[in-house]
Amino acid sequence: MLRLENVRKQYKDFELDITMEVKPGYVTGLIGRNGAGKTTAFKAGLGLIRTEGEITLFGKPLEKITPADREKTGVVLSDSGFSGYLKVKDLVVILRNFYHEFDEEYFKGKCKEFDIPFDKQIREFSTGMKRRLQVVAALSHNAKLLIMDEPTAGLDVIARDELLTMLREYMETEGRSVLLSSHISGDLEGICDDIYMIDDGKVVLHEETDTLLDEYCILKVTKEQYETLDKSFILRQRKEEFGFSCLTNEKQFYLENYPDVVMEKGSVDGVMTMMIRGDGR
């Protein structure tokens, strides 16, 4: 669906250098600290910034993508949205003319469900309301790929859950894909098939979510245990007051060979913290 290969973007004090792919039928998550390069990666994938490297969308180089191809994508951006001077009732007419497959009934229905006012300028909306509007618009025209940068930002727990339910429903149709980022790791764990972790503009880990949750763990070892620990499968380690935290992707190996070692179950947050703050072996 979307592939970024050796995509580079150089800024004065930051460089994005990334290779990643959103496969058909996949929900791919992008996670990283603030300023890690998530939004830059999204913008690169959408052709909003000029980059080096190769980007393909629906199998076509990005520079050959037409507005008709763009109709097959639904987009939510964290730092940009519909003009604040428009009203939702204006958007209905505009989206009808932007997208051949715009589902007006769905759009209006979801706006009503989310209490999004039709006759108020968007700039008067709360952050959460603006986000919900973007998500509803992105889902309303039978897009094949959703590209969503922080779609749950500013939403309360209930609204987040509703949004994730909408994404799950969206994925029930075959051949669709989603690329999304969230600073709430629970959102990604619950919906993503695979996750890219990026830090300082680079991918530090790419893993299937199930593998990450099932096979990764953090070993909590004392200094003595650390000395005797087989470090062949340790990806990152970090000095702690009690000794060391060690990230591994071979939980079973350590379960079988070091039954006395305390193990913390793999989680997106835990793995990300270790991948970013921990030292290599």
Partner 1 sequence: MKGLFIKDMKLMLGQIAFLIIIPVVGALIVGPTGQLDMGFGYITSVSGILAVTTINYDSYDNGYAFLFALPVSRRGYVKEKYVFALISSAVFVLVVGGFLWLLVTVVHPGNGGRFTEFAEGMWSSYMIVLSVLSLMIPVFLEFGAEKSRYIILIIFGVFMAVMAAVSIGETFSSFLDAGIKGVALLGLNAAFLAGSYAASCSIMENKDF
- The number of residues that bind partner 1 (CB under 8 A) is 34
> According to the binding rule CB under 8 A, does residue 61 interact with partner 1?
no
> According to the binding rule CB under 8 A, does residue 49 interact with partner 1?
yes
Q: Which stretch binds partner 1 (CB under 8 A): 27-35, 41-49, 170-178, 217-225?
A: 41-49
> According to the binding rule CB under 8 A, does residue 126 interact with partner 1?
no
Q: Which of 12, 13, 34, 50 binds partner 1 (CB under 8 A)?
A: 50
> According to the binding rule CB under 8 A, does residue 43 interact with partner 1?
yes
Closest approach of partner 1 to the CB of residue 26, in Å: 20
Q: Which of 8, 33, 56, 98 binds partner 1 (CB under 8 A)?
A: 98
Q: Which stretch binds partner 1 (CB under 8 A): 69-77, 161-169, 202-210, 241-249?
A: 69-77
Nearer to partner 1, 123 or 223 (CB): 123
Closest approach of partner 1 to the CB of residue 129, in Å: 15
Q: What is the 3-state secondary structure (H, E, C) of the chain?
A: CEEEEEEEEECCCCEEEEEEEECCCCEEEEECCCCCCHHHHHHHHCCCCCCEEEEEECCEEHHHCCHHHHCCEEEEECCECCCCCCEHHHHHHHHHHHCCCCCHHHHHHHHHHCCCCCCCEHHHCCHHHHHHHHHHHHHCCCCCEEEEECCCCCCCHHHHHHHHHHHHHHCCCCCCEEEEECCCHHHHHHHCCEEEEEECCEEEEEEEHHHHHHHCEEEEEEHHHHHHCCCCCEEEEEECCCEEEEEECCHHHHHHHCCCCEEEECCHHHHHHHHHHCECC
The answer to whether the CB of 151 falls within 8 A of the CB of 182 is: yes
Nearer to partner 1, 81 or 270 (CB): 81
> According to the binding rule CB under 8 A, does residue 86 interact with partner 1?
yes
Find the binding residues for partner 1 in span 3-22 (CB under 8 A): none
Nearer to partner 1, 119 or 224 (CB): 119
Nearer to partner 1, 50 or 260 (CB): 50
> Site residues (CB under 8 A) for partner 1?
43, 46-50, 66-68, 70-71, 73, 75, 77, 79-87, 90, 93-95, 97-99, 121, 123, 134, 147
